[in-house]
A = this chain, B = another copy of it.
């Protein structure tokens, strides 16, 4: 495969129509998930994005800032969904179904398996504290719904919400072993599994799923719009 040289761009917005910052994020995501975070240089990111290194520093303070932005993108939309669903007049099980389904879609949607970056040892660095705080806030959003779920006892809320998030985020490892995993196929199955975990009966689950699907349709498609899966390769222009 020929290497494309880094090249200055008179009009950055023309390259993919998505903007320089997004092109840098896409390039970094691909490199972090294949070559690895440590082995990826800022030069390699800029080159792959077709951006000069100097332009890159106009958008990001460094490689860590690009990683941080990628990580935030895997949580922010779900946190927003949790906030929206907390205000909606609907049953708790259906709201939890919609939250879990949309969260799985977000983790499955990007071409690169960004959730794998959660396991980098670098994330214990203070610079990634905002991401860790956002992830804990998402856990709290799950715990809020689990705590109101019919039949769940107060002392089990922490454990059950950890297990519910565990089911959702298990798609990160599945994407490694099942590369053909489809978001629209796996998301409702995982959302169903969360309900069974919390004690839903088969009869009750069918009704929750129908209501949850309807709620899911009212949520913004933040993740999938931002990270189109299997999009056409960027033209070599």
Contacts and interface: CB of A to CB of B under 8 A. Distances in A.
A: contact size bracket? 35 or more
B33 A36 contact: no
Interface string A137-157: 001000000000000000000
Contact of A163 (B119, B167, B176): B167
Contact of A176 (B38, B118, B159, B166): B118
A29 B70 CA distance: 27
Contacts of A123: 176
A119 B123 CA distance: 14
Most B Cβ at <10 Å: residue of A37, A132, A172: A172
Interface stretch (A192-200, A212-220, A225-233): A192-200
Contact of A136 (B117, B139, B177): B177
Interface string A105-120: 0000000000011111
Interface of A: 33-39, 116-123, 132, 135-136, 139, 159, 162-163, 165-167, 169-174, 176-178, 189-190, 193, 196-199, 202
